[in-house]
Chains A and B, each alone.
Chain A
């Protein structure tokens, strides 16, 4: 086998039932699947029989990273964790969670591209991975501890450079809404309880190895700097949110740096200043998601930006809020981003000092401190939306019984006091009572337990609920039919940012449309947000492209939340980016030259294998009516405006039907069932899938 760069070449296999640890060659088995989710889906296809439940010992949990993890390619900090998803309702199906931080890079330096874990240990253990070797260690003294203490205890044993991915009490107690976290604040949702079911408390990795760049090092340096030159801020927003001397445009983006906006809690306050896109030494100042989500007030509490190994865009923000230490008895320092940062705040409908006042920031600090230590997942904010709805509708009171209801301080809750969170969140991690047990199950199972039909949730746009226990993740409200298609395809929230990051990058529509011509063939691929035109084939091409780029990024280990890089902040390039930058970096790093089209084919193989796993485990090829569904609220506009009118986000039922037809056509799938045809599997090198489906009657000709 050729001596490739990028990959380190070994995959670790751990059977916790008998303690067997073995090592296999990554490239012999998984090269066609690149890494990350690709390896994850392949392992689940090969090794986990249909009908397996998430907590069965035979279920695999695969920590996969790709050939770019650990290199200097920008934004490569993501570890993909693939397993049978415990909150996927009514039946568990394959899905993946993704954590940033330093784990992905350290796993490579320790000599591994992936870890495949199965079985169940007799007693709590943690997995120690050190320079090409692995060992199962006793974790009885860590069981019951939070994530922070666990991480520090293991770091003390392995050394301060170790990266530790640990579960908290929620994962131990098999709460489906639980996470694994590394590097303090980088979590992957949904998988904590799968680790808990295997009695696996944590994985510590540490290595002195390296990731070899196969190509010429000067060319690599040039390629990396080229990619850096195309970067915007978080979500690849390429224009600033306020007028800047250097900028032609501004808009509601996450590029929040500006003279006068300061990291106020740095040991010596730092002005984020002018961030001319040509100055690659100021990329880290562009983004401050605390300020983006919490408002101007957050600047004075900002210590600095934080984030993943190798990523110049710091999407996490470290906040220092001294008052929370004395008021709530929690550390004055906290950090996270997006829904992780808003975890505590989002439970409340209002605060005494307004939605972006001091109390809302305190609620964020309390929420982060608790959730990221107990290891609770919020399903992209769905847990909090469910909670508010169930409380204010009176359902909660009715379902939990009066004794339990009275045990909570609802006055405190309605007033917006962060103190309320302590009992609630600890309760979720410990499954203490009916309310917390139900919340911890995830929306689908929670609604079922309380006898609430799923369709009630699917009629209410404000609940953002989509299907199968999970919410929308950038759907029709931002990207019309393209957003709807993408949100039908996964077994949890779709987590795809390829489409929304382009739509919301801040450029004027006419500039975006010129880029759309290059990528999807027509200006018609995109519309202004909430001013949608009827479906056309270019939107279907955009949906396919978006999904394949997501899978490509998740398999190479570059961040789909920071990409794609088809637009740039460079006026002199008409704001165009480059849709083959992934191929450039992949080819140089691995020494296995692949064009954009060849990588697209790899990602299609990976995505279609995900589709095949879904078909196999649902035991039906009728994806169209059984799986690719959408909630009714997409056909409603909150102001009552009809579809295709300006300001309306409403979709039209016949038009969505056409959208699915066009998408299936683009994919080469059967229109009636939405299932890939036998020839599609064959074309992608998935003959084994075709054979299995041929035998068990799931084949579609």
Chain B
């Protein structure tokens, strides 16, 4: 993605944390919350006195998919896992194709098709929405292991803090947190530090890395999330809400 301000209109006018949560700017939040703002975490995360981490900043961009162009080859999943993790593994891929590839199996007898190769042919790419505040996965993490990436502002798993409890997996309404059984750590889309491998790997131009916009109000959840927030974070929330 270029560094042009071409996303600003969406950011200003689209539904975002600032408009959808009638609250305050980041500076205001800082001031009101009286939170100690340390240099080390300045652009990445919030750290309150009791270490509870609340992400307020938006991501710079996100990856979006065009289902009508997806050809179902899964090269994006393979690029995500091979080029980042050194192994081909659709289940740890942070873009999810495989689970949508096959039939619409709920009612195989009828001729009314849903998506999938057994249905109308559409393959819907599931992608991380880089959620605005309140970021469900980050809020659910009892270990503050989901933090902001420095350049992209992507919400990423800090594997040094992650203990593999999988609470974040249950918190994401779109079921976008992966769990790596080899490392026993959660993992999620980190936008490949601004150069997403999935976008580069797509042979059908079906994926794009675009300036961030809020898809969380548009796309239906995939699962009923567990909205657990740890008590220490809840107490931080109270400071604003």
Q: Mark B6-33, 1 if CB is under 8 A from A, else 0.
A: 0000000000000000000000000000
Query: Do most interface residues of chain A lie in helix, strand or loop, or is the interface mixed?
Result: mixed
A266 pairs with B68, CB closer than 8 A: yes
CB distance from A75 to the nearest CB of B (A): 10
A336 at the interface (CB under 8 A from B): no
A305 at the interface (CB under 8 A from B): yes
Residues of the B chain whose Cβ atoms lie less than 8 Å from the Cβ of A162: 102
Which A residues, 375 to 412, have Cβ-Cβ distances below 8 Å to chain B?
A: none
Q: Mark A310-346, 1 if CB is under 8 A from B, else 0.
A: 1110100010100001000001010100000000000
Residues of the B chain whose Cβ atoms lie less than 8 Å from the Cβ of A308: 73
A71 pairs with B120, CB closer than 8 A: no
By CB atoms of chain A within 10 A, which of B67, B73, B74, B105 has the most? B73
Which A residues, 61 to 77, have Cβ-Cβ distances below 8 Å to chain B?
A: 70-72
B89 pairs with A284, CB closer than 8 A: no
Residues of the A chain whose Cβ atoms lie less than 8 Å from the Cβ of B90: 105, 109, 161
A234 at the interface (CB under 8 A from B): no
B87 at the interface (CB under 8 A from A): yes
CB distance from A111 to the nearest CB of B (A): 12
Which B residues, 182 to 214, have Cβ-Cβ distances below 8 Å to chain A?
A: 182, 197, 200-205
User: Which single member of A163, A266, A310, A325 contacts B78 (CB below 8 Å)?
Assistant: A310
Rounded to whole angstroms, the CA-CA distance of A268 and B89 in the bound complex is 31
Residues of the B chain whose Cβ atoms lie less than 8 Å from the Cβ of A248: none
Q: A161-B98, A184-B103 are in contact. List 19 more A-B contacts (CB 8 A).
A: A72-B88, A102-B98, A102-B101, A148-B108, A149-B109, A152-B103, A155-B103, A160-B100, A161-B90, A209-B89, A218-B83, A221-B82, A228-B203, A266-B68, A304-B121, A306-B117, A309-B73, A318-B121, A320-B120
B75 pairs with A210, CB closer than 8 A: no
User: Which single member of A149, A212, A266 contacts B86 (CB below 8 Å)?
Assistant: A212
Please provide the 7 A-B residue pairs with the shortest distance between their CB atoms, ordered closest to farther.
A210-B89, A312-B203, A72-B78, A152-B108, A284-B204, A283-B203, A284-B203
Given A155-B102, A304-B71, the answer on whether A184 and B89 have CB atoms closer than 8 Å is: no
For A209, give the chain B residue with the smallest CB separation: B89
CB distance from A280 to the nearest CB of B (A): 7
B237 at the interface (CB under 8 A from A): no
Given A267-B68, A333-B120, the answer on whether A211 and B203 have CB atoms closer than 8 Å is: no
For B113, give the chain A residue with the smallest CB separation: A333
A285 at the interface (CB under 8 A from B): yes
User: Which single member of B73, B88, B118 contacts A311 (CB below 8 Å)?
Assistant: B73
A217 at the interface (CB under 8 A from B): yes
Rounded to whole angstroms, the CA-CA distance of A284 and B205 in the bound complex is 9
B81 at the interface (CB under 8 A from A): yes
Residues of the A chain whose Cβ atoms lie less than 8 Å from the Cβ of B69: 266, 270, 304
Residues of the B chain whose Cβ atoms lie less than 8 Å from the Cβ of A310: 73-75, 78
B224 at the interface (CB under 8 A from A): no
A14 at the interface (CB under 8 A from B): no
A649 at the interface (CB under 8 A from B): no
Residues of the B chain whose Cβ atoms lie less than 8 Å from the Cβ of A266: 68-69
CB distance from B180 to the nearest CB of A (A): 9
For A267, give the chain B residue with the smallest CB separation: B68
Given A152-B103, A266-B68, A282-B203, the answer on whether A221 and B83 have CB atoms closer than 8 Å is: yes
Rounded to whole angstroms, the CA-CA distance of A304 and B75 in the bound complex is 16
User: Which single member of A72, A208, A270 contacts B82 (CB below 8 Å)?
Assistant: A72
Rounded to whole angstroms, the CA-CA distance of A155 and B100 in the bound complex is 12
B105 pairs with A156, CB closer than 8 A: yes
Rounded to whole angstroms, the CA-CA distance of A309 and B113 in the bound complex is 22
Which A residues, 119 to 158, have Cβ-Cβ distances below 8 Å to chain B?
A: 148-149, 151-153, 155-156
Residues of the A chain whose Cβ atoms lie less than 8 Å from the Cβ of B83: 72, 217-218, 220-221
A184 pairs with B74, CB closer than 8 A: no
A220 pairs with B118, CB closer than 8 A: no
User: Could you list some 16 contacts between A and B, CB below 8 A?
Assistant: A71-B82, A148-B118, A151-B103, A155-B102, A161-B102, A211-B88, A213-B86, A218-B83, A266-B68, A283-B204, A284-B71, A305-B204, A308-B73, A309-B74, A333-B121, A335-B117
User: Which single member of A109, A211, A281 contacts B205 (CB below 8 Å)?
Assistant: A281
A552 at the interface (CB under 8 A from B): no
Rounded to whole angstroms, the CA-CA distance of A631 and B68 in the bound complex is 47
B91 at the interface (CB under 8 A from A): yes
A303 at the interface (CB under 8 A from B): yes
Residues of the B chain whose Cβ atoms lie less than 8 Å from the Cβ of A102: 74, 98, 101-102
Residues of the A chain whose Cβ atoms lie less than 8 Å from the Cβ of B173: none
Given A109-B91, A213-B87, A217-B82, the answer on whether A267 and B108 have CB atoms closer than 8 Å is: no
Rounded to whole angstroms, the CA-CA distance of A318 and B72 in the bound complex is 12
By CB atoms of chain B within 10 A, which of A151, A208, A211, A284 has the most? A284
CB distance from B181 to the nearest CB of A (A): 7
A54 at the interface (CB under 8 A from B): no
Residues of the B chain whose Cβ atoms lie less than 8 Å from the Cβ of A283: 203-204
Rounded to whole angstroms, the CA-CA distance of A210 and B73 in the bound complex is 17
B102 pairs with A307, CB closer than 8 A: no
B4 at the interface (CB under 8 A from A): no
By CB atoms of chain A within 10 A, which of B69, B84, B100, B121 has the most? B121
Rounded to whole angstroms, the CA-CA distance of A155 and B107 in the bound complex is 12
User: Which single member of A151, A210, A224 contacts B87 (CB below 8 Å)?
Assistant: A210
Q: Mark A86-109, 1 if CB is under 8 A from B, else 0.
A: 000000000000000010010011
B82 pairs with A213, CB closer than 8 A: yes
For B117, give the chain A residue with the smallest CB separation: A184
Residues of the B chain whose Cβ atoms lie less than 8 Å from the Cβ of A26: none
User: Which single member of A105, A209, A267, A331 contacts B111 (CB below 8 Å)?
Assistant: A331
For A184, give the chain B residue with the smallest CB separation: B117
Residues of the A chain whose Cβ atoms lie less than 8 Å from the Cβ of B171: none
A152 pairs with B73, CB closer than 8 A: no
Which A residues, 157 to 173, have Cβ-Cβ distances below 8 Å to chain B?
A: 160-163
